[in-house]
Structure 1
């Protein structure tokens, strides 16, 4: 029988900001019930934040979008912040990203606004603690699932956040990420796309445009999906019988502007699809600010799977 993990209140929310959500790996095995996945929009940065904090794979972190969040430590904590540069400071002093640091009791950790990227991940050694709902604490506001209260709520001023008490042993693994794994979110990314079943139904001109255009990220972007603006893509299929939608699926609605679907996507859809972004490309897209340009590159499943397996091997036991 597994011993009950001890929990303790460790952080007070001084100012909640626009959007800070608790996210573990997400919910799986429930899409047949119409329940979406949730989890970190940027799996890459989430994984590094947890690893640097000394947490096991799957631990819950705070996903902080746009910034504006202010937190006060109620005890000394070992933390790591990875992902977007949101101008984080401790008592007014810049916080180093992509490494483990100590957050002293009484210090205020504040996030300003995006400098590079959109979402930062705050991991605390021991991991944030909450009661799982359908096997996960991942927050999905639309479905009112997960989070610290179990109802998918955003953080609010005055909330107190609990963590699992660390075991007292020194944290394992590296405490600072190498320079070559730290993402520069100011760059315009090339996103890997695995062609899907309907790709042959798009016109030749549309296929040329799809993979030879710098698409612009629309301001209509959230955890459900990101709309890309560019030339109008035309498909011989107007609509389909609704089918399951995977992470990164790129739908093309009648207006011809692709929509890449992310973690809080609907579970089924009837628009034709170009294919699906690789998991790491979906993560990279989730860090793009409105107006940023991206490009699609068609890839085979072999190289994409190998890349993803190598990524996972660095974090999972």
Structure 2
């Protein structure tokens, strides 16, 4: 009882909420780039919030069902089809043996999430199935491999299905340009001009964007900053290297680094950022830690109450 991979696409990875508690050993967390979309997909199916899903980047991914089940699709609109009929994200669908589910090139966003009733089945590595290719950890094989043609993705078959959709008010706006930033203790070391330039400039995503981090191009800041003693790196940290072009570090980031950091994108703004493509434009918006916490509590409470 599984889905068989017919076409592997550019990048399809098995993910759960991540591998936590090992950064002191140099092991990063991994997990879904768009956590909000991931959590909603599991909520739609009444799955455990950590149930494994497939993160599909840029589409061109095709599966064939070998048993009946119920699925949810959230995140980017990758022009998904079920038996060649167009289906939309942010809702559930019944699946029967022999059905073919395909994801094509993006209509909007970059990453979609495919959840199955009960979650995909894989053996955890260090407590998680999250795939981190750079560290050769997690995934279907446990060795950090991306999904490939012929892979069988096991699940518990079921004929039970409930038609559900995420409430319209809860849908994220992937066209949003502003990315929320919380400043850190190193922010005060940047000049007033650099701070103003950072928050008033428009940045373009470079071609060097992946699960490890997004490199940006635009107004240079902090060129006069000296390196710092290497220290632990949090999710969303915005490093400023010697060329002054910001780097936003994401799920597969390195665990330590010695570049100064002007701030940190919030969890759900990082999710919005992960749905942007190279050459898209963004701007940074300051918010306080209290505001960031309130936003996260609101999003989590909305999912909890919906469940």
Q: TM exceeds 0.5?
A: yes
CA spacing shift, 1:38–1:49, aligned 2, 3 Å: same
How big is each residue's C-alpha offset from its partner over 1:83-121, in whole Å with a ceiling of 9 and x where there is no partner?
001111112110121111112211111111111010000
Q: 1:268 aligns to what?
A: 256
Q: 1:132 aligns to what?
A: 124
Q: How big is the shift at 1:236?
A: 4.0
Alignment size in residue pairs: 305
Specify which of 230, 239, 253 is matched with residue 251 of structure 1: 239
Matched, 1:202 2:190: yes
How big is each residue's C-alpha offset from its partner over 1:214-241, in whole Å with a ceiling of 9 and x where there is no partner?
2111111000000111111125432011
C-alpha RMSD of the superposition: 1.6
Q: 2:293 aligns to what?
A: 305
Specify which of 266, 290, 302 is matched with residue 278 of structure 1: 266
Bigger shift: 304-313 or 192-201?
Answer: 304-313
Q: How big is the shift at 1:270?
A: 0.4
Specify which of 213, 217, 231 is matched with residue 205 of structure 2: 217
Q: How big is the shift at 1:203?
A: 2.1
Q: 1:76 aligns to what?
A: 68
Gaps of 5+ in 2: none
How big is each residue's C-alpha offset from its partner over 1:208-265, in whole Å with a ceiling of 9 and x where there is no partner?
1110112111111000000111111125432011000000000000010000000000
Q: 1:14 aligns to what?
A: 6
| Distance in 1, Cα, partners of 2:251 & 2:98 | 34
Matched, 1:161 2:153: yes
Q: 2:31 aligns to what?
A: 39
How big is each residue's C-alpha offset from its partner over 1:154-193, in whole Å with a ceiling of 9 and x where there is no partner?
1111111111456x8776xx811111222342x2421111
How big is each residue's C-alpha offset from its partner over 1:125-172, in whole Å with a ceiling of 9 and x where there is no partner?
110110000000000000000001100101111111111456x8776x
Matched, 1:116 2:108: yes
Matched, 1:233 2:225: no
Q: How big is the shift at 1:53?
A: 2.3
Bigger shift: 231-240 or 302-311?
Answer: 231-240
For the 8 Å contact 1:39–1:139, the answer to whether it is kept is yes
For the 8 Å contact 1:57–1:315, the answer to whether it is kept is no
For the 8 Å contact 1:195–1:276, the answer to whether it is kept is yes
For the 8 Å contact 1:201–1:235, the answer to whether it is kept is no
SS in structure 1 of the partner of residue 70 of structure 2: strand
| Distance in 1, Cα, partners of 2:157 & 2:108 | 32
Gaps of 5+ in 1: 1-8
Superposition TM-score, scaled by structure 2 size: 0.95
For the 8 Å contact 2:238–2:246, the answer to whether it is kept is yes
| Distance in 1, Cα, partners of 2:21 & 2:303 | 22
Q: How big is the shift at 1:196?
A: 1.1
For the 8 Å contact 1:86–1:111, the answer to whether it is kept is yes
Q: 1:24 aligns to what?
A: 16
Superposition TM-score, scaled by structure 1 size: 0.92
| Distance in 1, Cα, partners of 2:291 & 2:222 | 28
Matched, 1:151 2:143: yes
